[in-house]
Structure 1
Amino acid sequence: MARKFLYFVAFCTVVFIGGRLALAFYPEQLTRLSFTPGGQFEAQPDLAANAYANPDLWFARPGMSGSNPVQWQPEGFRPDPVPVDAAVFFVHPTTYLKKAHWNGPLDDPDARRIGQVMVRANASVFGAAREVWAPRYRQATFGAFVTDAPEARQAQDLAYRDVALAFDAFVAAQPADRPIVLAGHSQGSFILKRLVAEKVAGTPLAQRIAAAYIIGWLVDTRRDLPSMGLPACDRPEQSGCVISYLSFTDNADTAMMRDAYERFAGKSDAAGAASYLCSNPLTGGIGGNAPAARNPGGIVPDAKFEQARLTAALVGASCAADGTLRIGSGPDMGPFVLPGGNYHVYDYALYWQALRQDFARRVAAWQTRR
C-alpha cells in the first residue's frame, strides 16, 4: 500500500515530463518495474569541497546570470514593497524518474528542466527574500522511494551529501546576523529533516533559523521534532519553528501515505502511535479549520507551470485526525492532480500568497526577538 502512494507521485511527475500515461491505478509490481533501476548502485565520489562555488550547480543564488526562477510572479500579484531581510535555502523535489541510474546525473537535461520549473513554482513563495539559494544535486531517482533494496538508501545518502555540501556553502556566504529560512518539497523536505537534525540542531546556527518549511513530507512530532531541535509553529508570529503539511481532498484515503512514511522512518521508539504535524497555512498554527475566504491567494498554473493566475479563496484548510491537510473537494488545477484526491504537486501552489505572508511574518518575529 505504501508504494501505491509513492507511485501516484511518480505518475504525476512522469506526466509532467511528457509521458502521457493513461490515468489508472497500477499494481505495486508494475510500480517497481516501471521506476526501480535494475542495476547496482554506482558508487560516486563526493563532490569537491568547493564544488558549489560553481554557479552552474545552483538553480537560484545571488548574482546568477539570466532569469532567476525565484523571481517569477503570477498574474494578479502586486510585488512586495520591501524585501524580507532573510536568506532562504530551498531544496527541490524529485525530478529524475529514469531507471538508468540510482541517482540523477547533474547533466540530465530532463531533470534539470523540470527542476527549474519546480523551483519557479514553489520557491517563488520566497521571492521577497534578500537571497534565495536553490542547489542542484544528484537526487535519488524516484525508484529509490518504492523499494526496500539497499541501493535505495545508498542513493538517498548520496543526494543528502550533495545538499549538505551546498548548505555549507550557503551558510558560509551569509552575514552572521542574517536570519535563515529552510524550505523544501517532497524529496527536498525528506533531505531537510536529516540536514536540520545533523547540521543545525544543538549548534549556534539553530538560533538563526526563522522557520523551516518541511512541506510535502511527513513530520512526526514525537520522532522527528526532537531530533531536529525545533518546535512546531503553533502560532503565526512564532519563529524558529517547523511548518509541515500534505494536501488532500476531504474524501481522500491517506493510509498509503502514512504507510510510506513508516517504510523510511522505521518503527517508532516513542510511546504511542506516530503523531504527524499538520500546520494550517491559513492560520499559522497547528490543526484547526479555516474557510476558503481566509485564503489570500493560491496559484492555478498552466500545463507547463510557466504562467499562473493568483486566485483568492482558492481552497480552505482543515487538519484531519490523521495529520493530513484537507482542502475540501479540490479545485480544478489541471492534469497533475494525483488519483485519490492527492494534491501533492500543488502543496505550495494552493496557498502561495498565504505562505509568502507567513514567511515575511516569521522573519519579522525573529528580528523582533533578537
Structure 2
Amino acid sequence: MFERVNRAPDDPILGLNEAFNADSRTEKVNLGVGVFKNEDGVTPILDTVKEAERRLLQGETTKSYLAIGGDAEYGRQVQGLLFGSDHNIISNQLARTAQTPGGTGALRIAAEFIVRQLDVENIWVSDPTWANHGAVFRSAGLTVKPYRYYDADNQCLDFAGMLEDLETAGSNEAVLLHGCCHNPTGIDPTADQWQQLADLAERRGFVVLFDFAYQGFATGVDDDAEGLRTFAKKVPELLVASSFSKNFGLYNERVGAFTLVASDRSVADDAYSQVKTIIRANYSNPPAHGAKVVTTILADAELKAKWIQEVADMRQHIHGLRKLMVETLKDLGVEKDFSFIQAQNGMFSFSGLTPEQVARLKEEHGIYIVGSGRINVAGLSSKNMRTVCEAIASVL
C-alpha cells in the first residue's frame, strides 16, 4: 500500500537545513533556519537556563503527567509577560493559558478552536508570512487569505494596503497578526498603526490571533508587547500563540503557550474547557521540562532580571550584525541600497533577493537562505560576514 504514497515536497525551511547538513563544503553558511548563533556559530544555552536546570535537577521528585493545560504557574507567568503583571486581564482572571509543544502547537490549537467553536472558515495572514502558517491553518480546515503587508519597492510596511484589505474581513473570519519582529520581513507597525489596527478590529469584529514568537528581540521585553496590549484595551476577546524558543534559547524543548482572553471569567472558563478537549485529542498533555525552566526563571526576581539582560545582549548582537551587513555591502561597492536591513527588527530580513539569486548563493557559494529571500541575520557573525556579503554582491 505504501508504494502508492507520493513523496512530499521538502519543507522550505527545515528541508533547507537538511540540504545544508549534507553539503560537504567547509565554508558553507546556514542563514535559513531561525536560530540565534553567537560569534562562534553556536546556538548557546543561556546562563539563566543552566541555573534553572540545576535547581530543577536538585529539587525534582517526579516525572508524572502534567494536567491537560500544563502547569498553572507557567500559565500565570506567561500572562504576566504578555500583558504585564498588573493588567486587569490578570487581576480579573479573564485569561486562560494552556502550555503547548512550541508556538507551532499553540497555533494549531488556536486554529482548531477557531474552526470548531467559532464557525470560522477563513483566516487572513500577512503577505508574506512564516512559511508554516499556511500548512498549520489549512490542516485544521481553515482557508488562508492574504492581506497586503510588504511594499517590495520601498522595503517598508504597506500599511494603507493592509488597512484596505482588513476592512473587508468579516466577523465570521479570523486575522493573524505578528506580535513583533515580523517573520519574514522584520518590519513592524508603529504605535499609532497598532492603534489604528485595534480600532479596525473593534469595528469589524473579526477574531484576532496574535503569533508572538520573538518577544524581547525588537526593542525590549515589555516594549515588544505594545501591539498586543493596545489590542487588549480595545478588543475584549483575543487569542495568542506564544513561544519561548528564541528568547530563552529553548528551541528543542518546544516551549509554547496558547492564551485565550474573554470579557468575562465564566465565559473564559467555558471556552477553555473546549480548548482542553482539543488538546486531549491531540497530544493529551504537554512536555514538562522546558516550561519548568521558564517558570523557574520568571518566578525568581533575580533570575528574571538576568534573563532580561541576556535577551538584551542577544538583541544588541543582532542589531550590530544588521549594521555591519549594511556597511560591508556598501564597502564592497554594491550599488543597491540595503540600509533597510538596519531598520528592521528581530532575527529576519526580507532581503529582496530573487529565487534565482538565492539558488546561485546555494550552488556557487554554499550560502543557504530561504527561497523567498528571507535571511536569518542572527545566523551571521563578524567572522563570516564578509564571505556572505561577497557572495551576495556576486549574484546581484
TM range (shorter): 0.3 to 0.5
Structure with larger Rg: 2
Normalization by structure 1: what TM-score?
Answer: 0.34
Q: Is the helix fraction higher in 1 or 2?
A: 2
